Amino acid sequence: MGESSKYYVLKQKAVPEVLLKVVEVKKLLEANGTLTIQEAAERVGLSRSSFYKYKDDIFPFTDNARGRTVTFMLQMNDEPGLLSYILQHIAEYNANILTINQTIPINGAASLTMTIEVLPSPKDISQMIEEIEATKGVHYLKILASEK
C-alpha cells in the first residue's frame, strides 16, 4: 500500500525539538545563501542526516498557507467592536474573508466559524492567528481546515 499524505496543524509546543531544529536550519539557509547544510545544521545543534530525513516533512504553517483557504473556529466574548477588530486584523494580513458563521451569543460568548483566503503577503499568517488568539475577549481559536 502506498503512503498517503496527511497533514496536521500543531501548536509549536507539541512539535518535537528535532523538527523545530529542521525548520531553523531551513531559515538559516534561506537567509544566508553561502552556508552549507552542514554548517547550518551545526549552528542549531542538529545532525545533517536528521535534516535530510525530515526536511521535506516540516515547514512553517505560512509556507503552506499562501494561496489556500483556511477555516478556523473561535469562541469570543459578545462585546461591541471585538468582531470588527478581528476582521480588521485579518485584512491587515492581506487575507480575504470568504465566509463567516456566528452563533447567537449564550452567556456572553459566541462561537464563530470563518473561512479566509490567504493572499500573497510578506506578513506571517501564523503570527496573525497567534495575535487573534491572544486578543482580549477571545477564548480560543482552532484551525479546522487548510485547503488549496
The answer to whether residues 54 and 18 touch, using CB atoms and an 8 Å cutoff, is yes
- At residue 110, the pLDDT reads 95
The answer to whether residues 113 and 144 touch, using CB atoms and an 8 Å cutoff, is yes
- At residue 1, the pLDDT reads 43
pTM: predicted TM-score of the whole model, two decimal places: 0.58
- At residue 8, the pLDDT reads 65
- At residue 2, the pLDDT reads 47
Comparing CA positions, the residue from 143, 61, 128 lying closest to residue 88 is 128
List per-block mean pLDDT (blocks of 10 residues) for the chain, which spans 148 residues.
Answer: 58 84 86 87 92 80 63 94 95 91 94 90 80 94 81
Domains of the chain: 12-59 (no CATH), 65-147 (3.30.70.260)
